[in-house]
């Protein structure tokens, strides 16, 4: 959710139970502006909040010129002092995928994970236990990267890909119409496309290379993992993800207003297929 | 040059005429386009006009002719399009126009074709918003009756809670929904209170569904006012069941001789639900999808539904009549599942500060009953300072909703086994009571502090925070449940409230795994008579035969010496 007008935009996701207290709103307005200035971001977003047992983490993201590639993530415990999160490489993400349970709320907390490795082959194999310590900060970076990859969405046409490959905001995006806003295929994952290249040439022929460079969400598996609701009649569209409960995307049809935010425990809902 | 004054309007018709000609042959000699004096007319030659013109002018005309060439596909020509785009740019004067030039161009192309679209589209877009607004409008209208009683209303106690005040506190804690929605919910509750005779009314919370959400209100009817229609229906159902059983017994006795084997399986006895106003059905719940829509009463919950709800995990869809397709099969539809989950959440997460409620000391119930059900507000409650409420030992908060036993009720119900032959001696019954009847289950009594709650793996079941770290003297205590994510409670010196905003599921760090199907029933008891034994191997047979022969020989030898002895003796 963009930091410009945060105090107004937060009311759009209020129907999903996401609000900020007055103190938090005021603190964020101040600190995000400072953040933007210090890090020279083009735009600053309040990415969301990850609830820990003792404390909550506020996460902010700043983008440079290229909206997709140039993203930096920061976290804070009190909305005032922000720290840069380490870049989540594939190795860190693999390591952190074994950690289960809630976040503790202490960035220096370490999770113990015991791995049993078999050394040697056949009957001579011995089992060696190695304890790996995983820092909560790394886990936070990994979870933020996972959520970005799996449930960060944008309306179709909101971003354009220039011929150089940079992803920019589309200045002539005027919002989806009401009928378009009701269809899941008009929203796309904001990440490097995965399924786009697997499409047949026939399907690709109809796509506009500058706008349709992202995967639409209606092809996500399992079907039904996104819940699209109209609030205020047709005045507001809210899309929530059931895979990461707490992800809320909003869009006001016929306007440029859209955004998404995550407020949750930072745990994937692995039971989704049972629950649908 | 006169061509510069040419208005763009005339060229579309030129383009149309051009289209009729062969593609690619610009007809410069159409009368609409003014040409420099001296050019011959209607010569039909595709070559450019050359006479009496400087080469630069010739090139210019050639270029313009090319631009006026209309496309086969879209019937536009570049000249008109560019002039339209430039007109738009000059009218609107956007910033950094060169960066968005392509988009403007596309927009102009698009708008050319939709200019004649009908206006019906607009109506469709706005109607849903208007419908919802119409539904919600009555919320804001005053009742005629109320207007009459305005004078005396101050004295009447209303069960309506002071929701704006509670929501103010919740907002301090960062919990809740947008103010406008809370206001609408408040007015919807007011409507509920006006339409039904209620003693207490509370906003319980909001449960999200995949298609629609539920807004839940917890009410208690005034004594004696409750609708008895449902109870009559249940009595009828019970009577029908009893009749069927009697018929079944009669038939069984007659057909004892030649029967297909009847299964031994006796379904466990149905545990009856608790009466309204007691135990799990102490409160009644109303739900609606949007504030302003009529409130629907949820049916009372049965122990089977609570037990079933514990074993499945399903998202609500938002429609009360939706079926629940699950394993183990859930007894009921979404309304029942919702009611069961609401009861579980209430039992697990409704808390109040220690001392706010106390047991009614006049009523003493015997210990056999086990649990005390009734409590009342403590008039001498002095309030607990906020600092103590966020104490990490959680000793200052207690549950005020009864715990649900594994059976599915709050009070243990001893199932009496109904046998087909009812002529048992009393002695036999007493003897068999111990192994057959399960042990009565006991749960934590009412008003247990939450410090007794079980931990989830390594995490404490509740998290306590202050709403503001910067100004602790005016902050409030906020409790969040880790077992039922979405359950919150706030407390100040004198006030407290609970609310639930979530999907309605319990938290578990491990994956949900449906219970496995029950073991296959044994068709017959297996014993030595029925079990097959292996045939003896040839070696074993030989050994056995040899042993038998030896035995025979030994027996013969025994006989022979005896005979010999007898012979000798003689």
Reported ipTM: 0.89
- Inter-chain contact A275–B502, Cβ cutoff 8 Å? no
Determine the pLDDT at residue A113.
Answer: 80
> Quick check: B84 pLDDT over 70?
yes
Compare B395 and A62 and report the one with higher pLDDT.
A62
Contacts of B313 in chain A (CB under 8 A): 271, 274-275
Find the mean pLDDT for residues A240-252: 92
| Count of C-beta atoms within a 10 Å radius of residue B297 | 15
pTM for the full model? 0.76
CB neighbours of residue B528 within 10 Å? 6
CB contact under 8 A, A233 and B128: yes
Interchain CB contact of B315 with A (< 8 Å): yes
Number of Cβ within a 10 Å radius of residue B538: 8
CB proximity under 8 Å: B 438-457 to A = 457
Share of chain A above pLDDT 70, in %: 97
Q: What is the pLDDT of residues B535-567, one digit of tens each?
A: 878 888 888 898 999 889 888 887 766 655 555
Query: Does the beta carbon of A163 lie under 8 angstroms from any beta carbon of chain B?
Result: no
Region B20-29: what's the mean pLDDT?
Answer: 45
- Taking CB atoms and an 8 Å cutoff, what residues of chain A touch B503? 245
> Of B43-47, B68-72, B273-277, which range is least confident?
B43-47
Contact residues, chain B, for A276 at CB < 8 Å: 210, 314-315
Residue pair B293/B135 in contact by the 8 Å Cβ criterion: yes
**C-alpha to C-alpha distance for A34 and B258, rounded to whole angstroms:** 90
Please tell me the distance from the alpha carbon of residue A39 to that of residue A3, in angstroms, as a whole number: 15
Contact criterion met (CB < 8 Å) for B175 and A19: yes
**Chain A residues in contact with B511 (beta carbon < 8 A):** 270-271
For residue B168, give the chain A residue with the closest CA.
Answer: A21
Give pLDDT tens digits for A139-162. 999 999 999 989 999 998 888 888
User: Could you tell me if B172 lies within 8 Å of chain A, comparing CB atoms?
Assistant: yes
Helix (H) or strand (E) segment spanning residue B480 = strand B477-481
| Cα–Cα nearest to A65, from A32, A39, A38, A41 | A41
At B244 the pLDDT is 45
**Interface contact A102-B482, CB threshold 8 A:** yes
Contact predicate B44/B29, CB 8 Å: yes
CA B285/CA B202 separation, integer angstroms: 10
Residue numbers in B near A233 (CB within 8 A): 128-133
> DSSP secondary-structure letter at B487?
E
Contact assignment for A15 to B485 by CB distance below 8 Å:
no
Exposed/middle/buried for residue B325 (C-beta within 10 Å: 0-12, 13-18, 19+):
exposed
Distance of residue A44 Cα from the nearest chain B Cα, in angstroms: 22
Q: Determine whether B264 is exposed, middle or buried from the number of CB atoms within 10 Å of its CB (0-12, 13-18, 19+).
A: exposed
Q: How far apart are the first and last CA of chain A?
A: 28
Neighbours of A218 (CB within 10 A): 14
Alpha helices in B150-280 (DSSP H): 163-172, 179-195, 229-254
With an 8 Å Cβ cutoff, is B339 touching chain A?
no
Q: Does the beta-carbon distance from B208 to A240 stay under 8 Å? A: yes
Give the number of residues written for chain B.
570
Q: What's the pLDDT at B569?
A: 54
Torsion from C-alpha of B267, B269, B275, B281, nearest 10 degrees: -50
Quick check: B139 and B191 in contact, CB under 8 A?
yes
Q: What does the pLDDT average to over B473-500?
A: 88
A224 contact B CB<8A: yes
- B174, B471, B477, B508: best mutation site toward chain A, by most A Cβ within 10 Å? B174
pLDDT tens-digit profile of A43-99?
A: 999 999 999 888 899 999 999 888 888 889 999 998 888 999 988 888 888 888 888
- Residues 200-229 in B contacting A (C-alpha not used; CB under 8 Å): 206, 208-213
Size of interface A-B (CB pairs under 8 A): 119
Give the dihedral of Cα atoms B1, B7, B13, B16; nearest 10 deg.
70
pLDDT, tens digit, 9 for 90 and up, residues B410-442: 877 776 654 444 444 444 444 444 444 566 777
**Residue B114 at interface with chain A, using a CB cutoff of 8 Å:** no
Residue B511 C-alpha, separation from nearest chain A C-alpha, in angstroms: 6
B310 exposure class (CB count in 10 Å sphere: 0-12, 13-18, 19+): middle
Cross-chain residue pair A276–B133, CB shorter than 8 Å: no
Number of residues in chain A: 276
Residue of B nearest to A226 (CA): B210
Closest in B129, B313, B512 to A233, CB measured: B129
Residue B509: both structure tokens together: 């760090």
d(CA B213, CA B209): 5
Interface check B133 vs A, CB under 8 A: yes
Q: Is the dihedral of CA A177, A180, A183, A186 positive or negative?
A: negative
Of B94, B174, B511, the CB nearest to A270: B511
Task: Please report the residues numbered 478 through 507 in chain B whose beta carbons come closer than 8 angstroms to any beta carbon of chain A.
Answer: 480, 482, 485-486, 501-503, 505, 507
Residues of chain A in contact with residue B211, where contact means CB-CB under 8 angstroms, are 227, 229
Chain B residue numbers touching A274 (CB-CB < 8 A): 312-314, 512, 514
Chain A positions touching B314 (Cβ under 8 A) are: 274-276
Considering B125-139, B448-462, B477-491, the range whose residues carry the highest mean pLDDT is B477-491
List, as one string, the DSSP characters of chain A.
-BSTTHHHHGGGGGGGT----HHHHHHHHHHHHHHHHHHT-SEEEEEEEEEBSS-EEEEEEEE-SSTTTSEEEEEESSSSS-EEPPP--HHHHHHHTT--S-B-S-TT-EEEEEEEEEESSGGG-EEEEEEEEEEHHHHHHHHHHHHHHHH-EEETTSEEE-TTS-EEE-TT-----HHHHT-GGGEEESSS-SSGGGS-HHHHHTS-TTT--S-BGGG-SSTT-EEEEEETTTTEEEEEESSSTTEEEEE-TTSS-EEEEEEE-S---TTHHHH-
pLDDT grade for B102, boundaries at 50, 70 and 90:
confident
């Amino acid at each position: 959710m963009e930091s410009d007008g945060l105090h107004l935009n937060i009311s759009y996701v209020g129907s999903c139970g996401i609000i900020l207290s007055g103190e938090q709103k005021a603190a964020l307005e101040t600190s995000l502006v400072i953040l933007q200035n210090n890090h020279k971001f083009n735009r600053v977003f309040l990415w969301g909040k990850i609830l820990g047992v003792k404390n909550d983490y506020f996460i902010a993201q700043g983008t440079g010129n290229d909206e997709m590639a140039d993203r930096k993530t920061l976290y804070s415990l009190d909305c005032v002092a922000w720290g840069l999160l380490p870049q989540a490489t594939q190795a860190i993400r693999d390591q952190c995928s074994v950690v289960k349970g809630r976040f503790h709320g202490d960035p220096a907390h370490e999770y113990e994970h015991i791995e049993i490795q078999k050394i040697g082959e056949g009957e001579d194999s011995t089992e060696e236990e190695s304890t790996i310590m995983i820092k909560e900060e790394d886990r936070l970076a990994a979870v933020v990267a996972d959520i970005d990859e799996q449930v960060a969405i944008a309306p179709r046409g909101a971003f354009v890909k220039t011929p150089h490959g940079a992803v920019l905001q589309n200045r002539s995006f005027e919002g989806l119409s009401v009928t378009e806003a009701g269809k899941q295929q008009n929203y796309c994952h904001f990440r490097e496309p995965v399924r786009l290249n697997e499409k047949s040439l026939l399907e690709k022929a109809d796509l506009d290379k500058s706008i349709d460079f992202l995967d639409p969400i209606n092809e996500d598996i399992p079907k039904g993992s996104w819940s699209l609701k109209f609030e205020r009649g047709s005045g507001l569209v809210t899309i929530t993800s059931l895979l990461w409960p707490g992800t809320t995307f909003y869009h006001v049809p016929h306007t440029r207003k859209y955004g998404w935010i995550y407020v949750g425990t930072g745990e994937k809902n692995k039971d989704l297929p049972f629950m649908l | 040059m006169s061509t510069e004054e040419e208005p763009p309007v005339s060229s579309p018709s030129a383009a149309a005429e051009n289209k009729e000609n062969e593609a690619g042959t610009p007809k410069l000699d159409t009368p609409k386009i003014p040409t420099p004096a001296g050019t011959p007319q209607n010569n039909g030659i595709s070559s450019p006009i050359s006479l009496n013109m400087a080469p630069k002018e010739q090139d210019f005309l050639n270029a313009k002719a090319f631009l006026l060439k209309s496309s086969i596909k879209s019937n536009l020509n570049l000249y008109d399009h560019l002039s339209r785009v430039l007109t738009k740019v000059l009218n609107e004067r956007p910033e950094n126009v060169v960066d968005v030039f392509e988009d403007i161009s596309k927009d102009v192309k698009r708008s050319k074709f939709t200019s004649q679209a009908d206006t019906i589209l607009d109506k469709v877009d706005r109607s849903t918003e208007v419908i919802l607004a119409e539904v919600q409008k009555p919320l804001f209208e005053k009742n005629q009756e109320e207007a009459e009683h305005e004078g005396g209303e101050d004295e009447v106690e209303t069960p309506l809670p002071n929701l704006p005040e509670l929501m103010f506190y919740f907002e301090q804690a960062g919990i809740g929904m947008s103010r406008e929605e809370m206001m609408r919910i408040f007015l919807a509750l007011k409507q509920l209170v006006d339409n039904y005779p209620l003693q207490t009314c509370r906003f319980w919370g909001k449960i999200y569904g995949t298609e629609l959400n539920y807004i839940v209100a917890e009410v208690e009817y005034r004594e004696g006012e409750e609708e008895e229609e449902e109870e009559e229906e249940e009595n009828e159902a019970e009577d029908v069941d009893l009749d069927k059983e009697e018929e079944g017994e009669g038939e069984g006795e007659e057909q004892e001789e030649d029967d297909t084997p009847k299964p031994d399986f006796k379904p466990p006895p149905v545990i009856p639900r608790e009466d309204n106003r007691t135990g799990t059905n102490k409160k009644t719940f109303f739900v609606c999808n949007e504030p302003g829509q009529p409130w629907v009463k949820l049916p009372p919950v049965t122990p089977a539904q609570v037990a079933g709800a514990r074993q499945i995990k399903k998202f609500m869809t938002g429609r009360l009549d939706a079926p629940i397709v699950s394993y183990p099969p859930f007894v009921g539809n979404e309304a029942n599942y919702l009611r069961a989950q609401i009861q579980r959440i209430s039992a697990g997460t409704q808390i109040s500060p220690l001392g706010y409620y106390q047991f009614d000391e006049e009523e003493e119930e015997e210990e056999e009953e086990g649990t005390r059900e009734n409590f009342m507000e403590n008039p001498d409650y002095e309030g607990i300072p906020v600092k103590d409420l966020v104490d990490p030992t959680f000793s200052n908060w207690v549950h005020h909703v009864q715990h649900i036993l594994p059976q599915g009720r709050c009070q243990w119900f001893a199932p009496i086994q109904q046998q087909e032959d009812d002529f048992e001696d009393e002695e036999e019954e007493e003897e068999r009571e111990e192994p057959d009847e399960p042990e009565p289950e006991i749960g934590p009594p009412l008003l247990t502090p939450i410090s007794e709650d079980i931990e989830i793996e390594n995490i404490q079941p509740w998290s306590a925070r202050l709403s503001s770290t910067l100004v602790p003297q005016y902050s409030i205590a906020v409790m969040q449940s880790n077992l039922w994510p979405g359950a919150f409670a706030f407390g100040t010196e004198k006030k407290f409230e609970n609310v639930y905003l979530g999907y309605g599921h319990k938290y578990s760090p491990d994956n949900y795994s449906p219970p496995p199907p029950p073991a296959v029933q044994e068709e017959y008891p297996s014993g030595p008579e029925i079990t097959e034994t292996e045939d003896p191997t040839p070696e074993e047979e030989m050994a056995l035969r040899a042993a038998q022969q030896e035995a025979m020989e030994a027996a013969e030898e025994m006989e022979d010496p005896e005979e010999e002895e007898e012979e000798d003796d003689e």
